[in-house]
Amino acid sequence: MSYLECVISVVVIMIFESQIRPLWRHYFQNTQGLIFVVDSNDRDRVVEARDELHRMLNEDELRDAVLLVFANKQDLPNAMNAAEITDKLGLHSLRQRHWYIQSTCATSGEGLYEGLDWLSSNIANKA
């Protein structure tokens, strides 16, 4: 997939697939940007999402990658907003990491292009 002159390789990693976690690092080589999608409506698993995000970000292969968080399912009435997701994921503690959070609704596409714009421009600026 390409977007604004950036070639994007997509690997979908589900956080509940912890038994294959040791294999994940093979997909991280040469990664310049990471998109982490959070179900903003799932308050029960946001701590699990935070732990998995920080575990991934501690991988050597991802040390220089910029981070885009998609706070998805913003169309649902009980969804956490971007500020709450930022707090729950501990994003402010990522002082050495360039990150951005974007509210999204995957079913309508709302917010997706804004997030991809941020990601592509920040990867290009690092090059």
Q: Where is the binding site, in residues?
A: 72-75
Residue numbers in the known binding site for GTP are: 72-75
Show Cβ contacts of residue 72 under 8 Å, excluding neighbours closer than 6 positions: 37, 38, 39, 40, 104, 105, 106
User: How many helical (H) and strand (E) elements, i.e. helices and strands, does the chain have?
Assistant: 4, 5
